[in-house]
């Protein structure tokens, strides 16, 4: 089973995008086709982001809490055990890298251009939702 870390931008988009690559990668996790690797700092960032006015206007408090609870209950939450890298100027991006490395993820799925520009961090491929959705389709066909 593929192990992937979804950046916060993918997880928050999954609350409002119901079709296309983002929905495909969220559904792959929900359907147990991949193992989602996350960490407490990423869950905290997700919680903070979902409290922003855009999401509060689209989702009820119950929906937000339910989504966070699903992630806490169904994702693999790892402790960050590797040194937090400094390859990105954004500290949040570095936490994503450290989470993926600590959880031995094979992929980071993100919409963040700074992370995508890296293309790879150690043995972890960094891809957007469309590319990961295509990888998942290839895995199913194999």
Q: What is residue 140's predicted lDDT score, i.e. its pLDDT? A: 84
pLDDT tier at 100, thresholds 50, 70, 90: very high
The CA-CA-CA angle for residues 16, 27, 18, to 5°, reads: 25
pLDDT single digits (tens) 54-82: 999 999 999 999 999 999 999 999 999 99
Helix locations, 51-90, DSSP H: 53-58, 61-74
Cα of 29 vs its chain's centroid, Å: 10
CB 13 within 8 A of CB 112: no
- 35: which 2 tokens? 């193992």
Mean pLDDT across the chain, nearest whole number? 96
3 SS3 class: strand
Smallest Cα–Cα separation from 70: which of 105, 104, 29, 41? 29
- Rounded to 5, what percent of the chain is helix, strand, coil? 55, 15, 30
12 SS3 class: helix
What pTM did the predictor assign? 0.96
- 18: which 2 tokens? 């119901």
Smallest Cα–Cα separation from 36: which of 12, 4, 67, 69? 4
């Amino acid at each position: 089973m593929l192990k992937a870390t979804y950046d916060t931008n993918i997880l928050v988009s999954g609350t409002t995008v119901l079709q296309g690559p983002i929905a495909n990668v969220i559904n792959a996790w929900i359907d147990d086709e991949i193992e989602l690797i996350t960490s407490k700092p990423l869950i905290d960032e997700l919680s903070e982001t979902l409290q922003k006015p855009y999401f509060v206007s689209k989702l009820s408090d119950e929906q937000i809490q339910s989504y966070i609870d699903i992630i806490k209950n169904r994702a693999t939450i790892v402790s960050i055990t590797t040194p937090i890298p400094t390859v990105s100027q954004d500290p949040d991006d570095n936490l994503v890298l450290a989470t993926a490395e600590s959880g031995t993820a094979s992929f980071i799925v993100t919409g963040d251009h700074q992370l995508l520009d890296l293309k790879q961090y150690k043995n972890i491929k960094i891809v957007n939702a469309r590319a990961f959705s295509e990888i998942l389709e290839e895995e199913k066909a194999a």
